[in-house]
Amino acid sequence: MKNTLPALRASRGMTQGDLADALNVSRQTVNAIETGRYDPSLPLAFAIARLFSSTIEDIFKPD
Amino acid sequence: MSAATTSVKSAGRNYLIEFSLVLGLYAATAGGRPWLIAHAHNPSLALAATLAPIVPIWLMLAVVWRYYRHIDEYAQKRFLETLAISFGIGSCALVTYAFLTDAGLPPLALSWAWPTLAAAWLITTFVRRIADSR
């Protein structure tokens, strides 16, 4: 699954570590999501969408 | 994500500390067992020394479970994958050795199964980390 997370994060001036802290996950997890190696669970995807005041569909797109 | 991830950042450090302590306890009880048995003044003490390594073995399971409950979902997924792969490798290694004993290799005690599986887990974790860093 593709995602716009790196762009969203950059637009907020956040590092992967900052985002990880905000989501209460590890930086490795944020990196894995951003690079498409891991698709987050629905609760985590909702948390990401909520954090960026967006929707899951706007952030995550099927390949 | 779950309530279990409240201390996700400190989970790794805590795990390392707890695991090292329990591993040290295992090494002490397993390594010191022959001496303790030989110098035990009564059969109860000898029996306690004989069974002492059982305690850290089960403590280790508790430490691993505690760590699993405190890491995030991606880490949990990787943890379980690594565990499954290493269990497969370790089991195959044990069965292979069992057949090799029929071909002349010295038989090993059943207690070697646990260190073998632990070593397979350690190696698998190490190899996956190297692969991921590329």
A43/B1 Cβ within 8 A: yes
CB count within 10 Å of CB B75 equals 21
Query: Whole-angstrom Cα distance, residue B21 to residue B34?
Result: 21
* Average predicted confidence (pLDDT) for chain B: 89
Specify the pairing of strand A60-61 against strand A2-3: antiparallel
Q: Could you tell me if A29 and B72 are in contact, meaning their C-beta atoms sit under 8 angstroms apart?
A: yes
3-class SS at A29? helix
Instruction: Please say if the pLDDT value at position B6 is more than 60.
Output: no
Percentage of chain B beyond pLDDT 70 is: 94
Structure confidence by residue, pLDDT tens digits, B75-87: 999 999 999 999 9
Average pLDDT over residues A34-58: 96
ipTM at complex level: 0.90
A61: left (phi over 0), alpha (psi -120 to 50) or beta: beta
Residues of A in contact with B72 (CB under 8 A): 24-26, 29
Give the chain A residue nearest B76 (alpha carbons): A29
3-class SS at A2? strand
Structure confidence by residue, pLDDT tens digits, B32-53: 999 999 998 889 999 999 999 9
Q: Write down how long chain A is.
A: 63
Assigned token pair, B122: 């350690």
Q: Which of the four pLDDT bands, split at 50, 70 and 90, describes residue B68?
A: very high
Query: Whole-angstrom Cα distance, residue B114 to residue B125?
Result: 16
A25/B8 Cβ within 8 A: yes
pTM comes to 0.81
Query: Whole-angstrom Cα distance, residue B15 to residue B99?
Result: 36
CA-based R_g, chain B, Å: 18
Residue-level pLDDT at B76: 95
B73/A25 Cβ within 8 A: yes
Structure confidence by residue, pLDDT tens digits, A11-45: 999 999 999 999 999 999 999 999 999 999 999 99
